[in-house]
Amino acid sequence: MYRPHILSLLVVLAGAAQATPQYQIYDLGVARSGDTSSNGRGISSNGIVVGRTSGTGSSAMKWTSTGGTFPLANPTSPARAFCVGNGVNSSGNVAGSGATTIFGSSMLPIVWSSGVPTFLPLPAGEFSGTGWGINNAGVVVGSCNSGTDEKGLIWQNGAVSLLPPSAGGQTWLTGYAISGSGIVVGQGKDPAQPNSTIGMRHDLATGITASIGALTAFNHNSAIAHGVSEAGHIVGTSWRGGVGDFRPFIWTPAGGMVQVAPAGIGGGRALGVNSAGWVVGVTDDGQAFLFDGVSSYLMSSLIPAGTGWNFAAITNYWGAAGISEDGTITGTAVLNGTTRGYVAILQSPVSGTVNLLEYNPTQLGLPVSFEVRGLDNSLLQSGTVAIGAGGTITFNLLPSLRGQNGKVFVRASHWLRKQVYSGVFSPAGIQFGSVSLTNGDSNADNVIDLTDYTTIVVTFNAVPSSGNWDPSADLNGDGVVDLSDYTTLVTNFNLAGD
Ligand SMILES: [Ca+2]
Ligand SMILES: [Ca+2]
């Protein structure tokens, strides 16, 4: 009887040890001259962002880490001057819609492939619709019509069809997202409870549609499924029809529907999820949040202070709209008073304290080189950072290295290289503690030997104004090469770095 309690405690303790994610946030800007605002609405599994740039009319816009923000052309025949991109796949193809007014009049579903807009067909007798999600195979989901007459649609190979009902007669209102393996999620209606909507899941591989239920522990009976990861996690909102009590959830085939731990004021809506089970959404008061599988955080608490971003300034359904496999988040907030789409990139800080031995002046600001290597010693990342207060150094691990196994080394000009870490590169970063580096490697070949000895001998008694001055021989940094430096060299003679 005690075992479940002990396991629960262990889970809690493990959670407490997980580092808080840290993000850098970037303005998506506007993509057309004269535009005044933008939104981030969706992100692909590999981090391509899509949204809208708005001024006189609007256009779908796309952001990539290499190309920045750029607009996607509005269709001209028939013209649609109010377009938005809602979903994007890893090839950069975008699903969205175009309307004739800002209120969404005469809205038509559109796909942009290589930036070129193409209207998606509608079922016979339907005259409006929108595209929401597009997977890496190019399959699009969305809806036609609106209100209680809305119908969930799927477009494959250019042809449209209704998303199929469940065996129990539950039908689709909207398909919001689709994974690469063909899991479609969205909202539907159930003839057994006509006054509420239900969360829906369809598997293209099996052809089966089913409701994913609601958070029955909270006496809920209604849900919307809004996002799906490549691994099949589903997220959305569960609530009690006619009451409210909106709560974000994550659903898996094995675990069913579970409330996402609250952030901020508690209630809210989940919009996006990745294959690590990280969830993004908005709280009931419109603030963006992130759930990292253990804890929930307001986005405003995960970015550096003083960026000018305000997540509380607008009532905002899209505060955090999507998250990629490497933890990149997009959404909408207010930057210095203007509504803007953002992209927030997860930082994996590698940090620790470096002590440069046998060195007299302050080491504050001195350069330290770092190397990230694989277990086979292949160089994966390298760079130079300045020593901060208290000897601290920090650099950001490349996102592509998260979760890999490897080693981290540091060195400085005439100090030997030292391995400071070996193991898994946690997405939340690495803290390697405190390391002291051995002085005396004047020629920086990672061994203290006769060559370094010779350097000291030929520069002996030199000062910075001397013709034979060599700063790498002034081991203790006191501005003269003398017996102190010689003693350090002799003490460390024949030592080699890692
Ligand atoms: Ca040497
Ligand atoms: Ca000296």
Nearest ligand to residue 413 Cα: 1
Same domain, 231 and 167: yes
Same domain, 418 and 481: no
Nearest ligand to residue 475 Cα: 2
Nearest ligand to residue 492 Cα: 1
Nearest ligand to residue 444 Cα: 1
Nearest ligand to residue 494 Cα: 1
Residue 262 belongs to some domain of the structure: yes
CA 445–ligand 1 middle distance (angstroms): 5
DSSP 445: S
CA 452–ligand 1 middle distance (angstroms): 5
CA distance 319 to 311: 7
The two structure tokens encoding residue 62 = 């796309």
CA distance 387 to 402: 24
Residue 336 belongs to some domain of the structure: yes
What CATH number is given to the structural domain containing 387?
A: 2.60.40.10
Same domain, 255 and 390: no
Q: Containing domain of residue 365, as a range?
A: 348-437
CA 378–ligand 1 middle distance (angstroms): 22
Nearest ligand to residue 461 Cα: 2
CA 472–ligand 2 middle distance (angstroms): 10
- Specify the pairing of strand 159-162 against strand 151-156: antiparallel
Same domain, 393 and 483: no
Same domain, 418 and 472: no
CA 360–ligand 2 middle distance (angstroms): 9
CA distance 350 to 66: 24
CA 159–ligand 2 middle distance (angstroms): 78
CA 20–ligand 1 middle distance (angstroms): 40
CA 385–ligand 2 middle distance (angstroms): 24
CA 358–ligand 2 middle distance (angstroms): 10
- Specify the pairing of strand 309-310 against strand 171-178: unpaired
CA 476–ligand 2 middle distance (angstroms): 5
CA 450–ligand 2 middle distance (angstroms): 18
Count: domains in the chain: 3
Contact by Cβ (8 Å): 149, 189: no
Residue 282 belongs to some domain of the structure: yes
The two structure tokens encoding residue 455 = 């350097």
Same domain, 127 and 70: yes
Where does a domain end: 299, 325, 345?
Answer: 345
Same domain, 353 and 336: no
CA 432–ligand 2 middle distance (angstroms): 30
Nearest ligand to residue 414 Cα: 1
Mapped onto helix, strand or coil, the DSSP state of residue 234 is strand
Same domain, 140 and 286: yes
Identify the H or E element spanning 190.
none
CA 486–ligand 2 middle distance (angstroms): 8
Same domain, 386 and 477: no
Burial of 390 (0-12, 13-18, 19+ CB in 10 A): exposed
Where does a domain end: 437, 461, 483?
Answer: 437
What CATH number is given to the structural domain containing 266?
A: 2.120.10.30
The C-alpha angle with vertex 467 and arms to 464 and 468, in degrees rounded to 5, equals 85
CA 161–ligand 1 middle distance (angstroms): 71
Per-residue tens of pLDDT for the chain, all 498 residues: 334 343 333 333 333 346 788 999 999 999 999 999 999 999 999 999 999 999 999 999 999 988 999 999 999 999 999 999 999 999 999 999 999 999 999 999 999 999 999 999 999 999 999 999 999 999 999 999 998 899 999 999 989 999 999 999 999 999 999 999 999 999 999 999 888 899 999 999 999 999 999 999 999 999 999 999 999 999 999 999 989 999 999 999 999 999 998 887 779 999 999 999 999 999 988 899 999 998 999 999 999 999 999 998 766 688 999 999 989 999 999 999 999 999 999 998 999 999 999 999 999 999 999 999 999 999 999 999 999 999 999 999 987 888 899 999 999 999 999 999 999 998 888 999 999 999 999 999 999 999 999 999 999 999 999 999 999 999 999 999 999 999 999 999 999 999
Burial of 215 (0-12, 13-18, 19+ CB in 10 A): buried
What CATH number is given to the structural domain containing 456?
A: 1.10.1330.10
CA 439–ligand 1 middle distance (angstroms): 10
Where does a domain end: 288, 311, 345?
Answer: 345
CA 479–ligand 1 middle distance (angstroms): 20
CA 454–ligand 1 middle distance (angstroms): 10
Same domain, 290 and 425: no
CA 449–ligand 1 middle distance (angstroms): 6
CA 178–ligand 2 middle distance (angstroms): 66
398's CB contacts (< 8 A; 6+ apart) are 372, 380, 381
Residue 151 belongs to some domain of the structure: yes
Cα 279 vs. chain centroid, distance in angstroms? 10
Same domain, 389 and 454: no
Residue 16 belongs to some domain of the structure: no
Mapped onto helix, strand or coil, the DSSP state of residue 462 is coil
CB environment 134-167: b (16+ within 10 A), e (fewer): bbbebbbbbbbbeeeebbbbbbeeeebeebebbe
Same domain, 142 and 33: yes
Mapped onto helix, strand or coil, the DSSP state of residue 295 is coil
Mapped onto helix, strand or coil, the DSSP state of residue 36 is coil
pLDDT attached to residue 317: 81
Residue 276 belongs to some domain of the structure: yes
CA 498–ligand 1 middle distance (angstroms): 13
CA 424–ligand 1 middle distance (angstroms): 31
Which residues have CB atoms below 5 A from the ion given as ligand 1?
Answer: 441, 443, 445, 452
pLDDT attached to residue 194: 82
Contact by Cβ (8 Å): 436, 424: no
CA 79–ligand 1 middle distance (angstroms): 70
CA 386–ligand 2 middle distance (angstroms): 22
CA 497–ligand 2 middle distance (angstroms): 22
DSSP 207: T
CA 359–ligand 1 middle distance (angstroms): 17
CA 288–ligand 2 middle distance (angstroms): 55
Residue 139 belongs to some domain of the structure: yes
CA 133 → CA 84, 142, 316, 403, 483, distances in Å? 12, 7, 20, 28, 71
CA distance 248 to 406: 36
pLDDT attached to residue 427: 80
Residue 382 belongs to some domain of the structure: yes
Q: What's the predicted TM-score (pTM) here? A: 0.81
